[in-house]
A and B are shown apart, each in its own frame.
Chain A
Amino acid sequence: MKSIRKLRIHPGGLLFDTVNMGMMLLLCITTLYPFLYLLTMSLSPSDVSFTTIKIWPEKFTWANYQMVFEHKYIRSGFVNAVIRTVLGTLITLVVTVSAAYVLAKPYFPHRKFWTQLIVLTMFFSGGLIPTYLMIKGLNLMNTVWALVLPSMVSAFQLIVTRNFLQSLPAELEESAKIDGANDIYILWKIVIPLSMPILVTLGLWNIVFHWNQWFDSMLYMTRPENEVLQVVMRRIVLDGEMDMLSTAVPEMQRQVNTETLKAATIMFTTIPIILIYPFVQKYFIKGMLVGAVKG
Chain B
Amino acid sequence: MQAPTKAETIRRKWPSVPVRSRLQLLKHNRYWKHRYLTILLLPCIIYFFVFHYFPLYGVQIAFKDYKFLAGINGSEWVGLENFRKLFAMESFNNAFRNTLIISFYKFVFGFPAPILFAILLNEIRLVFMRRFIQSISYFPHFLSWVILAGVFTQFLSPSTGPLNLLLKEIGLDAVYFLGNPEWFRSVLVATDIWKDLGWSAIIYLAAMAGINPELYEVAKVDGANRFQRIRNITLPGIAPVVTIMLILSIGKIIQDDFDQVMNLYNPAVYGVGDVLSTYTYRTGIESIQYSFATAVGLFKNVISLIAVLIANWIAKKVSDSSLW
Interface residues of A (CB under 8 A from B): 1-7, 9-10, 12-13, 16-17, 20-21, 23-25, 27-28, 30-35, 37-38, 41, 49-53, 95-96, 98-99, 101-103, 105, 107-109, 114, 117-119, 121, 123-134, 149-150, 152-153, 158-159, 182-184, 187, 208, 211-215, 219, 230-231, 233-234, 237-238, 259, 262-263, 265-266, 269-270, 273, 277, 280-281, 284-285, 288-289, 292-293, 295
CA–CA, A159 and B117, complex, Å: 30
A20-B120, A128-B284, A215-B259 as given contacts; A152 in contact with B47, CB under 8 Å? yes
User: Taking the complex as formed, is B313 at the interface, i.e. its CB lies under 8 A from any CB of chain A?
Assistant: no
* B258 surroundings in chain A (CB, below 8 A): 215
User: Taking the complex as formed, is B202 at the interface, i.e. its CB lies under 8 A from any CB of chain A?
Assistant: yes
Which of B30, B51, B309 neighbours the largest number of chain A CB atoms within 10 Å of its CB?
B51
- The residue that A98 contacts in the complex, of B44, B220, B301, with Cβ under 8 A, is B44
Q: How far is the CB of B261 from chain A (nearest CB, A)?
A: 12
The answer to whether A16 and B123 touch across the interface, beta carbons within 8 angstroms, is: yes
* A288 surroundings in chain B (CB, below 8 A): 202-203
Residue of A nearest to B309 (CB): A123
- The residue that A31 contacts in the complex, of B121, B137, B208, with Cβ under 8 A, is B137
The answer to whether B55 and A131 touch across the interface, beta carbons within 8 angstroms, is: yes
Write out, one digit per residue, whether chain B residues 187-219 have a CB within 8 A of any chain A CB (1) or not (0): 000000010011000110110110101001000
Q: How far is the CB of A217 from chain B (nearest CB, A)?
A: 10
Residue of B nearest to A6 (CB): B213
- The residue that B154 contacts in the complex, of A12, A126, A263, with Cβ under 8 A, is A263
Residue of A nearest to B137 (CB): A31
Q: How far is the CB of A285 from chain B (nearest CB, A)?
A: 6
- Report, as a range, how many residues of chain B touch the other chain: 35 or more
* B284 surroundings in chain A (CB, below 8 A): 128-129, 132
CA–CA, A154 and B158, complex, Å: 41
Q: How far is the CB of A81 from chain B (nearest CB, A)?
A: 11
Q: How far is the CB of A145 from chain B (nearest CB, A)?
A: 11
- The residue that B294 contacts in the complex, of A21, A118, A130, with Cβ under 8 A, is A130
The answer to whether A184 and B39 touch across the interface, beta carbons within 8 angstroms, is: yes
- 23 A-B pairs with C-beta separation under 8 A: A4-B130, A7-B213, A31-B140, A31-B198, A33-B162, A35-B151, A38-B154, A41-B154, A98-B40, A99-B45, A117-B45, A123-B305, A126-B52, A126-B58, A127-B59, A129-B61, A158-B44, A183-B34, A230-B144, A237-B153, A262-B150, A263-B154, A277-B142
